[in-house]
Amino acid sequence: MRKLFLAICCAIAGHLFAANELSSPDGRYKISVDGMTYSVMFNGSVIVRQSQMGVNIDNRLFESALAVPRGEYKDWCSDLELRGEERTEVDTTWTPLYGENASIRDHYNQLVLHYEKGSNGQGIVAEGYDKRKYYAMDIVVRAYNEGIAFRYHFPETANSLFLHITGEQTSFAMPEGTQAWYEEWAQGPCEKRPLLASHLSSLDSEPWFESERPLLLQLPSGTYVALLEAAMKDYTRGKFRLKQDHELQVAMYGCADIISPYDTPWRVIMAGERAVDLINHKDLVLNLNEPCALASTDFIRPGKAFRCCRLAKDAILQSIDFCADFGLQYVELDAGWYGPEGKVSSDATKVADTRDFSMPEICDYARSKGVGVWVYVNQRALYHQLDQLLPLYQQWGISGIKFGFVQIGNQQWTTWLHQAVKKCADYGIMVDIHDEYRPTGLSRTYPHLLTHEGVRGNEEMPDAYNNTLLPFTRYLCGPADYTLCYFNNRVKNTKGHQLAMAAVYYSPLQFMFWYDNPYPVNGEQELKFWRDIPTVFDESIALDGLPGEFIVQARRSGNDWFVGAMTNCEGRTVSIPTTFLPKGQYTVEVYNDNPALNTRTKVQSTTLRVKSPGKPIRLTLQPSGGAALHFVRKK
């Protein structure tokens, strides 16, 4: 059912709504906006105290061209005056091309506050120059059952107003005693710290605190809060900087030059009584992005992939055979196939002369085996050769490109990157962005952008604390290419822990056996779980978990359910409920660590029969361990 309600309320606003307040449809969230400040309540308690809104703009060069004397621009928003408001309720349901859920409800109340420059502005208006015509800004606020979001909109003007944004005033004043899981860079370690300058300062680092997004917080009440960024496509990346004790501020990577009409990225606040509530509400990030913009999506096919590092013809053909035998949909030719990736002289339009294969013959052989081919291309080549590469790769039959070492952060490279992604769709080529890039939901608009790195995954060989924290932090903003390993002896966790990742970690393009020896499988029964599990699902439910301690994630594909359970460096007993299952009888394959087994992987396979509703399944997880379960409903 699709519903859309619109009410434009200016003079009569007081008869319908409390002035400048907006509640979520279920009433659990309430945001109050007063001038350029706001506060947020969740379940009747304040989760964000009175905080700042607004942007910093320095338009002195622009004004000088209009013969307007230069003024001081320390606080551009200080004299904005509220001129009107609009209120809207939207309730729709949309069907993604693929995802963690087969359908997504988009239900929110929206408040748009129209501001214009007032008579107390800095500087003198030149004769015949209507300041209000050029200086206007809207604050767009949405209240969902899943969270609060707001952004700044600069309306269209007669002369397409140019604005030089030097920063945001947007801040988040948290209750005293709030702690944050601080992560300095996208692939860095994460550490829980109080929001106090005395706990965050160091002798050689300034500022004291500047953390990646999403940022997970825990209030003294026990409530969990996540701060996120959505729909960042042609702006600058924002992080969260400690402004003062208990208060964070959006820290833009650099300045942004915009032309109206223009929307800044959404600033998002999610809360949950349980930490897993955040995971179950993360479709909010997709809802804050535009619908699919592609005319054709037939070429988009999520799947599992194997990386081929030995770039010789025999090794590549063997890799393709392995993919076909194991049920992996793609092989990826990694860095070096066209020469040293960091050199300008390397030409990504051809295979390096030192190699003994051609790309058309590799694509033809892969196609005969039902396997697609991805290629790694460094940004250096993408930047110089993209318009040559795309029609050529389409001719070869390339399925996708893994963008390597992309520049991130500033407006120039952010805009270039997303334009490059858009161009790939024109040639039927999918995309995986690696290194420090973190998503903000643009895969809804460009679903051929299957996945992204920006995660401390198996390239860093992290411990189980990191792995049980990721679902509550990095994965809140979108899929991550963790690059799953299984046999590599540098992995710090059990095989059961690694096995469960295929259910816990969402990535429409899921790389498996990363860093493992070529063609590593040797009859390990538990790897049937990796064979059977898809990479996209019809329904996803985080059942239980605590950040950095443990996670239990369930996902449905058709009538089958796949569950992954992972613990941190401590062993524990977890309870897998059966109440989330539709009523009926099920056969369950359980794969769990058993150190007593005399096998290479020490993973025990057990078959159970359960019913729903019924008793939960209790599992003992080894330190740094995990378990994977496959529920098959009996007919």
Stretch 565-584: mean pLDDT: 97
116 and 107 in contact (C-beta within 8 Å)?
Answer: no
Least confident of 81-95, 111-125, 352-366, 519-533: 111-125
Please give the single-letter amino acid code of residue 180.
A
Stretch 479-483: mean pLDDT: 98
Percent of the chain with pLDDT over 70: 90
Residue 290 has pLDDT above 70, yes or no: yes
* Chain segment 23-70, per-residue pLDDT in tens: 999 999 999 999 999 999 999 999 999 999 999 998 765 555 444 444
Stretch 263-280: mean pLDDT: 98
* Pick from 574, 584, 633: nearest CA to 613: 584
Element (H, E) at 285: helix 284-287
**Whole-number pLDDT of residue 322:** 97
Confidence of residue 203 (pLDDT cuts 50, 70, 90): very low
Tokens at 579, concatenated: 């109440």
Query: To 5 degrees, how large is the angle CA 321–CA 323–CA 327?
Result: 125
Residue 126 has pLDDT above 70, yes or no: no
Rounded mean pLDDT of the chain?
A: 91
Tokens at 252, concatenated: 């833009």
**Whole-number pLDDT of residue 199:** 60
* Chain segment 495-522, per-residue pLDDT in tens: 999 999 999 999 999 999 999 988 888 9
Q: Which residues of 365-379 are buried (b: 16+ CB within 10 A; e: fewer)?
A: bbeeeebbbbbbbbb
Residues 6+ apart with CB under 8 A from 22: 30, 31, 33, 87, 109, 110, 111, 141, 142, 143
Residue 204 has pLDDT above 50, yes or no: no
**Whole-number pLDDT of residue 541:** 98
Q: Which residues of 298-307 are buried (b: 16+ CB within 10 A; e: fewer)?
A: ebbbbbbbbb
* Pick from 233, 189, 234, 232: nearest CA to 211: 189
**Whole-number pLDDT of residue 124:** 37
Confidence of residue 366 (pLDDT cuts 50, 70, 90): very high
Residue 7 has pLDDT above 70, yes or no: no
| Stronger pLDDT, 202 or 57, i.e. the higher one | 57
Q: How far is CA 342 from CA 335, 347, 349, 406, 410, in A?
A: 10, 11, 15, 12, 21
375 and 424 in contact (C-beta within 8 Å)?
Answer: no
| Stronger pLDDT, 125 or 349, i.e. the higher one | 349
Least confident of 16-25, 58-67, 546-555: 58-67
**Whole-number pLDDT of residue 200:** 52
According to DSSP, residue 172 is labeled E
Query: To 5 degrees, how large is the angle CA 502–CA 504–CA 505?
Result: 70
Confidence of residue 141 (pLDDT cuts 50, 70, 90): very high
**Cα 252 from chain centroid (whole Å):** 18
Tokens at 399, concatenated: 């399925």
Radius of gyration (Cα) for the chain, nearest Å? 26
617 and 586 in contact (C-beta within 8 Å)?
Answer: no
According to DSSP, residue 313 is labeled H
* Chain segment 169-199, per-residue pLDDT in tens: 999 999 999 999 999 999 999 999 999 887 6
Stretch 84-109: mean pLDDT: 98
How far is the C-alpha of 541 from the C-alpha of 578, rounded, in Å?
Answer: 12
Cis before 207? omega within 30: yes
Beta-sheet strand order (sheet of 400-404): 449-452, 430-433, 400-404, 372-378, 330-333, 303-308, 509-511
Helices and strands: H and E segment counts in the chain: 13, 37
Please give the single-letter amino acid code of residue 458.
N
Residue 593 has pLDDT above 70, yes or no: yes
Q: Please, what's the largest Cα pairwise distance for the chain?
A: 88
Cis before 220? omega within 30: no
**Whole-number pLDDT of residue 197:** 81
**Whole-number pLDDT of residue 383:** 96
* Chain segment 424-462, per-residue pLDDT in tens: 999 999 999 999 999 999 999 999 999 999 999 999 999
Confidence of residue 236 (pLDDT cuts 50, 70, 90): very high
Confidence of residue 117 (pLDDT cuts 50, 70, 90): confident
- The answer to pTM > 0.75 is yes
How far is the C-alpha of 154 from the C-alpha of 112, rounded, in Å?
Answer: 12
| Stronger pLDDT, 343 or 118, i.e. the higher one | 343
Percent of the chain with pLDDT over 90: 84
Residue 11 has pLDDT above 60, yes or no: no
